[in-house]
Chain A
């Protein structure tokens, strides 16, 4: 079945450094790749997304890249701040199966001040 693998499971960086989280997906029909941020005890919230016809997308300190051939996509956070500390989930969905979204297992990011 469809699968999304996410690495690393835990990431610790110093404030001001960059953080990179990587995901791979198995379903070649996937065409939408969102990233969610979940703070402790809160709901997941969309922070950025990318579609399969785009290779890269940026929004201030956050960027996402997509390599469709390799079925890889990554989240890049630059100039990290303590408030970036959270769990980040990647996901993949497509036009089949009712637009089901398959999530990665999550990455817990710690930004040390």
Chain B
């Protein structure tokens, strides 16, 4: 589990500010994912990436931007944070050819 980390673990920001959540994995997994977790909704996929420079939208991509210039990093940016983006964000990774996803420890984001 120590192979996938997220930073910061906690973040408080204000409406309209830009926020970037970082995700780093040391396994060289090809697939990486960003989820948000809200009460009553489980885990909803925001964006995913099949490899460096390849990203695609998930279920709830609006208001978020991702990039993947290196295999090990998959940052998630909220360009102009809104209160509805208050949530717990989980990054996950998966090796190609396997179905199991490994989750990071999560980032609790509060938008005031």
Q: Which residues of A contact B (CB under 8 A)?
A: 1, 6, 9, 32, 34, 42-46, 49, 89, 91, 93, 97-106
CB distance from A90 to the nearest CB of B (A): 9
Is chain B's interface secondary structure helix, strand, loop, or mixed overall?
Answer: strand
- Whether B56 pairs with A45 at a CB distance below 8 angstroms is no
Residues of B within 8 A of A (CB): 1, 31, 33, 35, 40-45, 48, 50, 56, 58-59, 90, 94, 99-101, 103-106
Total A-B residue pairs with C-beta atoms closer than 8 Å? 51
Indicate if the CB atoms of B94 and A99 lie closer than 8 Å. Answer: yes
Indicate if the CB atoms of B42 and A106 lie closer than 8 Å: yes
List A contacts of B31 (CB < 8 A): 98-99
B43 cross-chain contacts in A, Cβ below 8 A: 44, 89, 91, 103
